[in-house]
Structure 1
Amino acid sequence: MRLGEALRKLRERAGISQREAAYRLRYNYQKLSRIENGQLPEYHGLRAMLDLYGVLVSEEAPFIDMWERASEKGWWHPYRVADHGYLSLEHDATRLSTFSLGYIPGLLQIESYMRALFAGWQVQRSRKWIENQIAVRTRRQERLVADEGLEYHAIIAEAAFPLADREQLLHINDMGTRPNVRVQVLPFAVGLNDGYTGSFHLLDFAYLADMTVLYVEHPAGASHVEDSEQVKASKVLFKHLSKLALAPNESADWIGRLAAER
């Protein structure tokens, strides 16, 4: 995605339209569009684009470096988990906003909650599959406690809490004390609202300041949405849900009282 954005800016700087560039590169228009949205080009195709866009050979190094980095497999590949492209997005994101309707979000789950969640799935999985999932989810959580941690804002509906035990609840509150983590509870008391349409994630990236990706999971897989109007509507909804939800300190008190009862 970083490379695609850089190539788009080079093309625009050269004053070449996407259709014209595709014609001169002997690409179809859709292929160039996919490259500018994150599909990795072949090496010689990259060099052809740099030449077309007026990049001198002495200036190519940063773009070649980005291509090489994009060609590397992510840390999650050895685990062989089906992530629908989400892990790479989360790995590159600097801010993640999550609304969770029915379960504790993955970045806040403890191992026992993960195991209970996987055990309750309709399709029974092998022990190796479950261990890989837990390992990946635990590795993802390291970003919340890193020196330059992921900026994380989770709004969790009250419906997600009944099956969370005391240890899980206390862990949520512990993570909520971190400066980069913001946790809010959306209580039943606010009544029916737009959040009941389902859970979703919004991911922001430092190198794509004007781009947010909406990620939504569904029974058949998942969807990535980059359309600006659809993303904007989801950002407005998240902001609305944040206003409806308890403030972070009120949420921590609410979760603490619930933990005390268990």
Structure 2
Amino acid sequence: MGTPSLPNYHGRRLLREVKRLRELAGLTQEQASTRLHLTLQKLSRIENGQLPGYHELRAMLRLYGVPRLDWEPLLDLWERARKRGWWRDFGLKDSGYVCMEQEAASVTEFQLGLLPALVQTERYARASLQHADDAETAVSVRMRRQQRLFENPLVLHALIHEPTLQQGVDREQLVQLVDRAQLPNVTLRIVPQSAGLHSGLEGSVTLLSFTDPREPDIVFTETVLGLAQTQDIARTSAVRRRLEQLATLALSAEDSLDTFKALIW
């Protein structure tokens, strides 16, 4: 039986490919469902977000004329789609952002009031999350998320509003900023206070991108009302342009690194 829950990134890739293969084979959903001995509704659910069972997937690949030698990558995607995410062990009520960040290839963000979560020390994270409903779990999740910078390295481009460096940032945190800024997959740049009024003052924003060109970018913003997200292409494109504009106001990565070092002393 397929699971009714929405699939992860690997599952979404698989379902897009399964639909493409059906269309390439010249079969309508009705024709394919009849030959697969599935209801039309079941096949429609699969192509719109329900992961098929293992044997259902094999039957589809056989029907759609996929050579046996080409099955392995698709079966591997199925296995990855079924894999339990590490965040489930923390009992998160809403793991939407964490799940997407784990699957992303790159993160581009502007942070207005706090340092980017992926470069925070545990002490800084604990101070910034002290009012969370379950602060200890939130801190543990934030620390666990940072492993993506070292395992299957996530590319991070972070723009930091300069006043943030004067708000609860101790020597330990500055040393970590220097260390993280020197990772080959991390770019930290400071948007100086002298830049004056700019669009970043409207709030922090994070844009995630993926290796699969068919997986649209997703934007997240957070306010006191909670986390909002969109994969609407017009909106994500507008956010990308805003981030690019903010980047033109920022110090270079080298000058930003020198600033972090100077603040330590």
Question: CA 1:140–1:176 in 2, change beyond 3 Å: closer, same or farther?
Answer: same
Whether 2:184 is the aligned partner of 1:179: answer yes
Question: CA 1:228–1:93 in 2, change beyond 3 Å: closer, same or farther?
Answer: same
* Alpha-carbon separation, structure 2, partners of 1:224 and 1:45: 35
Is the partner of 1:104 in helix, strand or coil?
coil
CA distances 1:137-168 after superposition (whole Å, capped 9, x unpaired):
2222122234x421111101123222212221
Larger deviation: 159-168 or 40-49? 40-49
Whether 2:102 is the aligned partner of 1:91: answer yes
Q: List aligned pairs for 1:225-236, cutoff 5 A.
A: 225-236=230-241
Q: List aligned pairs for 1:206-217, cutoff 5 A.
A: 206-208=211-213, 211-217=216-222
Question: CA 1:105–1:34 in 2, change beyond 3 Å: closer, same or farther?
Answer: farther
CA distances 1:15-59 after superposition (whole Å, capped 9, x unpaired):
38xxx6389653399956741xxxx42428953993697145845
* Alpha-carbon separation, structure 2, partners of 1:188 and 1:199: 15
* Alpha-carbon separation, structure 1, partners of 2:229 and 2:60: 28
How far did 1:228 drift? 1.3
The one-letter amino acid paired with 1:252 is: L
| Corresponding residue of 1:54 | 64
TM-score, normalising length from structure 2? 0.79
Q: Where in structure 2 are there 5+ consecutive unaligned residues? A: 1-8, 34-38
Larger deviation: 21-30 or 217-226? 21-30
Question: CA 1:52–1:194 in 2, change beyond 3 Å: closer, same or farther?
Answer: farther
Whether 2:173 is the aligned partner of 1:165: answer no
Whether 2:112 is the aligned partner of 1:101: answer yes
Is the partner of 1:76 in helix, strand or coil?
helix
How far did 1:244 drift? 0.8
Is the partner of 2:92 in helix, strand or coil?
coil
The one-letter amino acid paired with 1:196 is: L
Larger deviation: 207-216 or 187-196? 207-216
Does the CA contact (< 8 Å) of 2:11 and 2:51 recur in 1?
A: no
Computed over aligned residues only, the root mean square deviation of the Cα atoms, in angstroms, reads 3.0
Q: Where in structure 1 are there 5+ consecutive unaligned residues? A: none
Whether 2:246 is the aligned partner of 1:237: answer no
Whether 2:41 is the aligned partner of 1:27: answer yes
CA distances 1:77-97 after superposition (whole Å, capped 9, x unpaired):
111134441111111112111
CA distances 1:206-249 after superposition (whole Å, capped 9, x unpaired):
23466322122233332331111111111111111111111111
* Alpha-carbon separation, structure 1, partners of 2:90 and 2:67: 39
